[in-house]
Structure 1
Amino acid sequence: MTSRVTFVSPATSPSLRQARFYDGDSIDDIGAARARAAAGSLPVPARVVTSPSVRCQQTAAALGLGGSESPELSGLDVGRWGGRTLDTVTAAEPEAVARWLTDPCSAPHGGESVQALCARVARWMEETRAFEGRTLAVVEPEVVRAVVTEALGMPAAVFWRLDVPPLTVTELSGRAGRWNLRLGRPLAVPDVD
């Protein structure tokens, strides 16, 4: 049996555009229009799951998808840094940010470490391996990073070296105890600017 999972990153939101740690904001008008334009361009799934965040829920809805929230696919908990820009946090806490970006076990913000996120996502991937049919998951960019890191057996230290643009598709197919990866395919989205 081959398991297939298609991950879609969320449409743009103010926090994505401003390099601000996610604070629960909604997708913006351009992101919503692009997601609506891409509706129907994804393979038909047997099930749909989403990160619990507002922007993932709204992206799924704009893509014409209904589904269930999966707490295991929540974005990285950045604790007290939520809602602040990376520049602001770096200016106030340069050593903490440097440690966070280089040590995947570090969580100076009081939230979750990258290592913990990768472990959580790995558990979800293992459970999903037993699911027959295609799963479509609308998830936060850092969840996609964790998926790629885990699928390829890379150390968590590479996490921050992976870029995940809005409304891109990363696909996994798995059998015989391993995952194959296809990443970064943009959704078929016409320009709506």
Structure 2
Amino acid sequence: MNHPRRLVERARMTVRLTLLCAAARTERAVRFADDPLDERALHRVRAVAGSLPQAATRCMAPSRRCTETARTLGWESVTSQPALRDLDMGSWYGRTLDEIAAGDASGLAGWLADPGAAPHGGESVTQLCDRVAAWLDALQPDVGRVLAVVEQAVARAAVVHALGAPHQAFWRVDVPPLSTVELTGRGGRWNLRMAELPSTPRPPW
């Protein structure tokens, strides 16, 4: 039978990590760029601010959209983590998917099929996944609860690592803006935890 003190100690040695995918502009075209958030995106951030868990450690990716998301959440103390930076898109930076497909269709197809490919001269999906995995596994067991504003690609890579999935699964993970990923880790192992809906009063019938 587990002693209560041991249970408390084990809980303290568990990393509880919430990844919040940064807000994004509401334009339809998907562009690989770090554009400032528009007012509609900022309104959505303010709407979710009260639903996030409290955390002793807050950090974010060094991008403009992550910085603006954290600032709009009201965070006054937050650490920028270079390891959480977005995927380096090299020569494709600033272009939309349609523009890339029109100018480099074979390169785009290869990039989507092979996680080790980087036809844009930037970073491959495999390199991103390895970088994010190293950051996750370097978190100290006594850090407690961590809340981080991250890029969509980083959230995907974190899920892939937590599940021990092949890097090919990267594109099968859908992480919309302002969605959260809950991870718990201890002893080098990670678990993916699905978020619960806020409790609501029971109906009178």
- TM surpasses 0.5: yes
Does the 8 Å CA contact 1:168/1:184 hold for their aligned counterparts? no
Alignment CA distance shift 1:38-1:157 (3 Å): same
| Residue of structure 2 in register with 1:76 after alignment | 87
Are 2:175 and 1:164 aligned?
yes
* Residues 173 and 179 in structure 1, CA contact (< 8 A), matched pair in contact too: yes
Does 1:116 pair with 2:152? no
Larger radius of gyration: 2
Work out the number of aligned pairs and report it: 185
- Aligned ranges for residues 33-182 of structure 1 at < 5 Å? 33-66=43-76, 67-182=78-193
Distance in 2 (CA, whole Å) between partners of 1:82 and 1:156 is 22
Distance 2:153 2:131 in 1: 12
**How far 1:138 sits from its partner (Å)?**
0.1
Decide whether the 8 Å contact of 1:169 with 1:185 is kept in 2.
no
Counterpart secondary structure, 2:135? helix
2:101 counterpart letter in structure 1: T
Q: 1:186 to 1:160 in 2, by over 3 A?
A: farther
**After TM superposition, which residue ranges in structure 1, 4 or more long, deviate above 6 angstroms?**
184-187
Q: Is the 8 A contact 2:141 2:186 kept in 1?
A: no
3-state DSSP of counterpart to 1:45:
coil
User: Runs of 5+ in structure 2 lacking a partner?
Assistant: 1-12, 199-205
Cα distance in structure 1, aligned partners of 2:195 and 2:105: 31
Distance 1:34 1:127 in 2: 32
User: Letter of the aligned partner of 1:13 in structure 2?
Assistant: R
- 1:11-30 equivalence runs, <5 A: 11-13=23-25, 17-21=28-32, 23-30=33-40
The alignment's C-alpha RMSD in Å is 1.8
Instruction: Output the CA distance in 1 between the equivalents of 2:197 and 2:152.
Output: 14
Structure 1 spans left out of the alignment, 5+ residues? 188-193
Conservation of the 8 A alpha-carbon contact between 2:45 and 2:72:
yes
How far residue 17 of structure 1 moved from its aligned partner, in angstroms, is 3.7
Cα–Cα, structure 1 residues 136 and 155, in superposed 2: closer, same or farther, change >3 Å?
A: same
User: Are the aligned partners of 2:133 and 2:161 in contact in 1 as well (CA < 8 Å)?
Assistant: yes
In the alignment, which residue of structure 2 is the partner of 1:191? none
Kindly state the Cα deviation for residue 11 of structure 1 after the two structures are TM-superposed.
Answer: 1.1
Q: 1:174 and 1:78 mapped to 2: Cα distance? A: 30
Match of 1:6 among 8, 18, 34: 18
* Helix, strand or coil at the partner of 2:50: coil
How many angstroms apart in 1 are the aligned matches of 2:82 and 2:168? Answer: 24
